[in-house]
Structure 1
Amino acid sequence: MYRLSYYKKKTIAPNINDLGDEILIKIFSYLDKEELCLKAMEVCQKWATTVTSNKQLLQQLKFEGNNASTNKICEILKSASGLEAIELVSVPEVDVIIDHLCRFNGTLKEVTLKYCPEHINVTALENLFTSCIYLSKINLKGTIFSADGLYTSIASLTELHSLTLSANKEYLNYNRLMEIILNCHHLENLKLFNSNVFDPILTDEIVVEIFQTLHSSLKSLTLDCTYLSSSSYSAIFHCKWLEDLHVINAVTFSGRQLNTFPKLVHLKSLKIEKGIGLNNNDFIETFNSNNRTLQNLICFALTYCFKLEDSGLEAIVKVCGKNLISLNIEGCSKLTNNATDNIVKYCNNLRYLNVAFISNKNLLDYEMVPNNFPHLNVLVVDDSTDYTELRALQIIMANLEILISEVKLFKRLHKFN
């Protein structure tokens, strides 16, 4: 007689790799690039192969500081044959990385090299600009390079739409700047700063010539106005396609210039920094008489405009408050609680709000924030704010990012925890 035995069928636990490549790729598409490259690709060979075999997952890359070794970055670049945009912030050994970009990533369209700690070899940059002929955006903010011929290489990029240059005061002069401006006819985004206060590049004569050349293409402009006067502002207002305008150190900016903004009928974002020459009545007059044009603004910043009062802010938010998603009134020290009432009344769609360094510390009642600003993603306050109130607010609005602005030797932001 044989004894029959019944064995319970062994069940195999489901594995994420059983989902198939299409579903894995969909999951990976929700990860940010740091998680994707530095974590997901390290899990197993299958995940690494799935990521590198899909060009869309590696179209944009960002590396910051020492979060990845140079060898690791170069290894990823070899696999990213469809790379279109890369951002390197404070990354060492940039020359080695640039060499790999030239060899493996000829389709590159956007390159950002910000605050890299070493002087970049000019030959490496020249090779980058000659190898990646489709570059449309270059950002070299805070990264120092020395070159005579480099600006000629930049000027040869006929597809260039966006250019940011700074920290190169020894080599960037009028002739080199104009060489770029005159050759890159498609420039849409331009950021210009005076790096050397003793020998400024940006004078009225130069600025007028720049905007006479770019008036039909320019859509976004950030301009250091430290040494500029009314002739420069008049030239800006002839750039009729401007959508984004940021004037820095606008100490000579007056009500007359402010009243000219409605000529820019496509303007969606306006930022005025240190407009100490603007009076409260200038804002009232401009916004009360030109409300149809200015109501299209979705981003508005008036930082350290010391003469702005409650009535001026009321005139602003009455006109464009309904469409505003970003409002920055940092350092506007004359505002009182009435300003808050007007923001609450007219600006219910805000995603970003900056109320740092305003004399009235009770300007914003944090208890009313959840009900009146349900879409708010970022709130910026200064380090004199009651942290107990901020913690209570963060409990109620779990997705709200609160940033603390500090001024010591220099201004900096840090996340509130």
Structure 2
Amino acid sequence: MNINDLPAEMLIEIFTYLPEWDFLRNARHVCQIWKLISTSPILRQNVELSKYMDSYAYPLKYFSAIQLYIKKLVMHSTYIQTFEKHHQDVKFENLKSLHITSKVQCTWWPNSVFNNFFSMFPNVQIIKITPEFWRDAENCLYALSQFSIIELDFGYYGSNSFGTMGKLHDLHYRFIQFVQCQRSLKILKIRASDHFAEDTVAQILEKCPTLTSLNISGAYVSAESFKISTNALALTEFYMKSQSEFKDGDLEALTKRAPCLKTLNIEGCRSITERGFRHIALNCSHLKKLFIGELDSNCVTDVGSDVITKIAKACPHLEFLSAIGCSKLEDDCIIDLTSSCGSLRGINLNGCTNITDVSFFALADHCPLLNVCEVRNSAISLKCAMYLIQHCKGLTKLNMSNCNNIDDKNDSELENMLETQSRNNKPRTNSSVNSKLDMSSFSMHCFHSHLKDLDLSESMHVTRTLATKLTRILPDLISLKLSISADIESDEEWFQEIFENCVCLSEFKLSTTTIQRQDYLKL
């Protein structure tokens, strides 16, 4: 059977896995059928152009045939001048999203470069761009002001040296003017290194009342940014990481002005105390996602159990909680969380060293929709982990790295599950629907076929025997990390057994190497 004998729908599905380079240089020249498929509108909706393409003119000829199909374009900044100079007649009429992957350096080019380039995308609504120098940033904002932007991701990391401070002050006002004229702007992300004025955020909130999502990364935020005005905000998502100036009073002002917040990320804001967190409970009853604590589980914070308990009782719709590095949290607050927030779908307790099996049993019993669970550095045991896997049938990711209570000293639960699996002798399936049906007909000791990602790295008591049993019980794993030392030659049989147990596993990581399926089994 020839591959071209497959139905067109199947061929198109196969082609979706090919990188753009193969379309431009290889696949489209194989035969007439492949050339026709390579211009399919379905395949050409999302296009990515990388720097490694050695001929810029070549793909531009290709664009003349597909320009009307493209809805999202990801491209390296080196293409900006090439597009502007050689192919201004191309118009991406249906393109809505444009992502420039690298820093844009157009300082020595004519000011018209940005205008001419962006004119090729007359209906663009989503932009991600990072100008290198202040002049690039100014020209970029000026060119974009003619469009109706819905989502902007704007980064600037230029130098403050060589007398550019005054220019950066002008950049601040250019940015405020841009935001003010964008009546449809809903999502704004600012990535900068202290290059905007102190009241930039305050003015953005004042000038852009339609904003529903604000993400501030690296830009300096003054202590009064949220207190200057009391006008209600339409914000439903707010992200501000590692801001030492963001304090209790600012969090209070934010939550009062944005009562409809559904996502709040203040990780690394170490100046916030229990008093500040109390205002989340008082003002954010619609909250669905909350990120507090630290960015790294190796850091610790003073967030206590009372904070989580109050927030959980006040925010019953909470679906995701990240409390990385909150080492003072204890089981009682997690029990309160599970009893109040039964719709919890994800939890990150990395670095919460006082959390024990009691909390995870409560998660398994009260949060059946749990999809992601990360418990690095915790005291979770193997028995509890398997109980969590069995009862949360939607669980796809479990991170138990550096959990030294995971061992095979008491693996009777695993043996029971393997015995039940063998006794039932039912064929395993990768279909989530069939998996649910199979599991509902099994006893509580049935094997789990939903977990995709299992991380046991740095859990030093996990042995090869235990890892093998886990892969037999969890046959649908696509990601596995272990901290087991192995010899590439002498452990070949063990590698083969792991891959035979997990047919979707293309590789798994050990302490010093990554084992590839193609080296030990035929795909």
Shorter-chain TM range is 0.7 to 0.9
**Residue in structure 2 matching 1:399, options 446, 451, 476:** 476
**Residue in structure 2 matching 1:222, options 221, 226, 239:** 239
Instruction: State the match for 2:439 in structure 1.
Output: none
Label 1:265 to 1:254 Cα distance change in 2 as closer, same or farther (>3 A).
same
Following superposition, the deviation at residue 372 of structure 1 comes to 2.9
* Correspondence list, 1:10-409, <5 A: 15-18=2-5, 23-25=7-9, 27-29=11-13, 32=16, 34=18, 38=22, 41=28, 43-52=30-39, 54-62=40-48, 66=52, 71=56, 74=60, 77-81=63-67, 82-88=69-75, 91=76, 93-95=78-80, 99=84, 103-114=90-101, 116=102, 119-121=104-106, 125-140=114-129, 144=132, 146=134, 147=136, 148-165=138-155, 167-168=157-158, 174-196=172-194, 201=196, 203=198, 205-218=199-212, 219-224=236-241, 225-237=243-255, 238-261=257-280, 263-274=283-294, 276-288=301-313, 290=314, 294-320=315-341, 322-356=342-376, 358-360=377-379, 362=381, 365-368=384-387, 370-382=389-401, 383-386=457-460, 388=464, 389=466, 392-402=469-479
CA RMSD, 1 decimal: 3.9
Label 1:313 to 1:212 Cα distance change in 2 as closer, same or farther (>3 A).
farther
SS in 1 for 2:306: helix
Residues 323-367 of structure 1, C-alpha deviation per residue, up to 9 Å, x if partnerless?
2322222233332232222222223222222223x2537488554
User: Which residue identity does 2:44 align to in structure 1?
Assistant: L
SS in 1 for 2:266: strand
User: Which residue identity does 2:126 align to in structure 1?
Assistant: K
Decide whether the 8 Å contact of 2:150 with 2:187 is kept in 1: no
SS in 2 for 1:371: helix
How many angstroms apart in 1 are the aligned matches of 2:62 and 2:393? 40
Label 1:373 to 1:227 Cα distance change in 2 as closer, same or farther (>3 A).
same
Provide structure 1 residue ranges, at least 5 long, that are not aligned to the other structure. Answer: 1-13, 407-413
Label 1:106 to 1:313 Cα distance change in 2 as closer, same or farther (>3 A).
same
Decide whether the 8 Å contact of 1:380 with 1:403 is kept in 2: no
User: Which residue identity does 1:110 align to in structure 2?
Assistant: S
SS in 2 for 1:249: coil
Label 1:236 to 1:86 Cα distance change in 2 as closer, same or farther (>3 A).
farther
Following superposition, the deviation at residue 296 of structure 1 comes to 2.2
Decide whether the 8 Å contact of 1:211 with 1:239 is kept in 2: no
Label 1:404 to 1:271 Cα distance change in 2 as closer, same or farther (>3 A).
farther
Residues 31-81 of structure 1, C-alpha deviation per residue, up to 9 Å, x if partnerless?
5454587376565331231231x3233112346675x66657556544432
User: Which residue identity does 1:220 align to in structure 2?
Assistant: E
SS in 1 for 2:43: helix
Following superposition, the deviation at residue 281 of structure 1 comes to 1.0
Decide whether the 8 Å contact of 2:302 with 2:327 is kept in 1: no
How many angstroms apart in 1 are the aligned matches of 2:139 and 2:65? 31
How many angstroms apart in 1 are the aligned matches of 2:285 and 2:42? 36
Decide whether the 8 Å contact of 1:308 with 1:334 is kept in 2: yes
Following superposition, the deviation at residue 393 of structure 1 comes to 3.4
Label 1:187 to 1:47 Cα distance change in 2 as closer, same or farther (>3 A).
same
Following superposition, the deviation at residue 182 of structure 1 comes to 1.8
How many angstroms apart in 2 are the aligned matches of 1:24 and 1:261? 53
Identity, % of aligned positions: 16
How many angstroms apart in 2 are the aligned matches of 1:139 and 1:405? 37
How many angstroms apart in 2 are the aligned matches of 1:395 and 1:297? 34
Following superposition, the deviation at residue 15 of structure 1 comes to 4.4
User: Which residue identity does 1:396 align to in structure 2?
Assistant: I
Q: Count how many residue pairs are aligned between Structure 1 and Structure 2.
A: 377
Decide whether the 8 Å contact of 2:184 with 2:210 is kept in 1: no
Following superposition, the deviation at residue 169 of structure 1 comes to 6.3
Following superposition, the deviation at residue 287 of structure 1 comes to 1.8
Following superposition, the deviation at residue 202 of structure 1 comes to 7.4
Decide whether the 8 Å contact of 2:123 with 2:147 is kept in 1: yes
SS in 2 for 1:260: helix
Label 1:194 to 1:95 Cα distance change in 2 as closer, same or farther (>3 A).
closer
SS in 1 for 2:264: strand
Label 1:36 to 1:93 Cα distance change in 2 as closer, same or farther (>3 A).
closer
Given the two structures, how large is their TM-score scaled by the length of structure 2?
0.60
User: Which residue identity does 1:309 align to in structure 2?
Assistant: E
How many angstroms apart in 2 are the aligned matches of 1:166 and 1:317? 41
How many angstroms apart in 2 are the aligned matches of 1:108 and 1:390? 48
Relative contact order (alpha carbons < 8 A, sep ≥ 6): 1 or 2 greater? Answer: 1
Provide structure 2 residue ranges, at least 5 long, that are not aligned to the other structure. Answer: 161-167, 213-235, 295-299, 402-456, 484-506, 515-523
